[in-house]
Amino acid sequence: MSAAPLAERVTLEPLLWITACLALALAPHVAALPIWVTATVAGAAALRVLLAVRGRDAPPRAIRFVVSALAIGLLFVQLRTFNGLSAGTALLSLIAGLKLLETQGRRDIYVITMIIYFLSLAALLQGESFWLLSYLIGVCWLTTSALLRLTSSASPGQWRRSVRYAGRILAQALPLAIAFWLFFPRFGGPLWQLPQDGGGATTGLSDSMSPGDITDLANSDEVAFRVRFSAGTPPSDERYWRGPVLHDFDGHAWRRTDSGPVRPPQLLLDGPAYQYTVSLEPNQHNWIFVLDYPSHWNVPRGFLTSDYMLVQPTPIAQPLDVVATSYSHARAGEPLSAGMRRRDTRLPPGRNPRSLRLAQELRAAHPDDMDYVHAVLDMFRDQPFFYTLTPPRLAEDTVDGFLFDTKRGFCGHYASAFAALMRAAGIPARVVTGYQGGTYNRFADYWIVRQSDAHAWDEIWLEGHGWLRIDPTSMVAPERVEHGLNDLAVAGQALTSRWQQRTPSWLRDTRLRLDALRLLWRQRILTFDQNSQMQLLGWLHIPEPNGQKLAFVLAGCLISGMLWLTWQVRRDLILRPRDPVARAYDTLCKRLATVGIPRSPHEGAEAFAARVAAQRPDLGSTVITLCRRYSDLRYAPSATPDARSAAAFSAGVRAFRPRGSRASS
């Protein structure tokens, strides 16, 4: 690139501003960019600013060429392609930093500005957050302000004027943006998000569990899903959101057995039916969390597994709203198969020997299945077991260590130990993981289920009843909970109350209001699709709405918007008439010019009057009086002259008709 002309050279101030705008545009991409790309861009920006501070231009062209070739080549070697959203964004970010390194003139700033706009668009294509959109609008606003400041002749301190003008431009573009939003033909999938290059892992439950695994989730306030009930809300002890069911136990950890689309055993549904909508957040699994026991759902390819877990064939890569109906109680409609009985009574040989002896002793004293269940639950309630999120580390035989050594644990410890004791007595048992409870958002009438609501419980098979849900954690008395920890919520209560108990009421309300705003954004904006557009046309009383009429409405909106913008621009271009004093003074100067005495552009009023008096003594007295009156009106302490004085000055100019001028003829 050749050196920019001296008048076009970029000074330090605009360079700093465009560097700041580039940093803000890159911020949403930092987590996805290769670390060395971010470091290269930051190093290039720091070097260019340092050179500008010292009054020096960009590095020599040869150095810039070598750095660019090495950086772009390394990026291609790492990514193997420049196609796709992620690779293209990385390349664009690297180019922005390299362009900043060679910046010398205004043209370079213009190029970087365009890259900033494209980086903002790329961030919007990768995310759908309301806050991200607000942030990117702010970045574009600031970037436009910097661009206006660079191209204007205002003094360096007039940034407020540029910011206001940029805001005005964005406001004028808003009607067109709304028209495109409402009536531009929709395609399948989310509003603006492109398919991702790969499914990124998110926090949540997994298909295995060892005691203590759920502790990490219990410390997370991340939202797992939201639920809105159509009518009544089930009580807390029935709000168990079913997730992975774990069958295989190796003495330390539980794992899920993938049974595939096997028909679940028949259930005779009983109790009240609850209809609700679950708004699931994206994750890397295909599990759909619903209440026990689901009877209907609107997932086209969803099905129940053999252990009544609702799944779909593919992971939930996008936000998903599931309308489902569940019954609070159910009885078995057929006996347990021999295969399922073997699977859910299997224990690893030689593991947890003390727990096996305990089970044999309790079983001998309580031959009835239900009596045996109550005996184990009474043990948890009566003996000094403690509920804590920070349990001691356990050895390989986790059940023995928990029951006989530490007696401190979280829901996973209790569910694992209870299921092992049931199986040791010949009772089929399995561990169910999911979520329990939730936080009610009274500002929008729905429930928030967070990762901190992650829970584990058990199901046992009893002849004549079928699968029964047992939550051994609820047997731990509130007074047994260890104080001084973060887990001050007691078992049996909604675990979400932990973050509520640690947070001031005003902050809790603020968080709930913001969450309601996020849900509204998702339901009203992100899910605005073709059906929503047809409904909008119907609401506008357009008969038989279709794609052609949608295009006509969009064209009408765009024409109206462009006409409005044209009127706005034309109004700005029309010069406002100057005040009467200025017009009268111009008339005086024109009349003097016709007699051969034109005013020079640099001359003030009284200096001009003195020259007129020297050249035309016959006009000197009148011109000096008029020019002094003009100076008093124009530069008096008062901001605006009074109407009477201005009118008198105008009348004096009209009466002035020097000999030899066209006005005197």
Render pLDDT for 91-118 as a digit per residue (tens, 0 to 9): 999 999 898 888 887 888 888 999 999 9
List the structure tokens of 284.
């890397």
Write down the pLDDT at residue 195: 46
Is 214 or 221 the better-scoring residue by pLDDT?
Answer: 221
Which carries the bigger pLDDT value, residue 621 or residue 507?
621
pLDDT value of position 217: 52
Task: Tell me what pLDDT residue 200 has.
Answer: 40
Reported confidence tier of residue 665, pLDDT bands at 50, 70, 90: low
**Amino acid code (one letter) for 144:** T
Judge whether 397 and 351 are in contact, CB under 8 Å.
yes
* Stretch among 60-74, 205-219, 241-255, 404-418 having the lowest mean pLDDT: 205-219
Which positions ≥6 away from 642 have C-beta within 8 Å?
A: none
- How far apart (Å, rounded) are the C-alpha atoms in residues 450 and 644? 74
DSSP state of 105: B
The two structure tokens encoding residue 81: 């392609």
Question: pLDDT tier at 214 (50, 70, 90 boundaries)?
Answer: low
pLDDT (average), residues 43-69: 86
Q: Band of the pLDDT at 539, cuts 50, 70, 90?
A: confident
Mean pLDDT across the chain: 82
pLDDT at site 426? 94
Report the DSSP beta bridge partners of residue 596: none
Average pLDDT value for residue range 384-389:
84
Lowest mean pLDDT among 257-261, 413-417, 517-521: 257-261
Determine the 3-state secondary structure of 433 from DSSP. Answer: strand
Distance CA 247, CA 81 (A): 43
pLDDT, residue 664, reads: 54
Q: When comparing pLDDT for 541 and 195, which is higher?
A: 541
Query: Residue 486: pLDDT band by 50, 70, 90 thresholds?
Result: very low
Q: Higher model confidence: residue 94 or residue 262?
A: 94
* Average pLDDT of the segment spanning 620-649: 82
Q: Tell me if 216 sits within 8 A of 202, measured CB to CB.
A: no
Q: Residue 198 above 80 pLDDT?
A: no
What pLDDT does 212 receive? 53
- Catalytically annotated residues: 411, 455, 471
Q: What percent of the chain has pLDDT over 70?
A: 86
pLDDT for position 7? 45
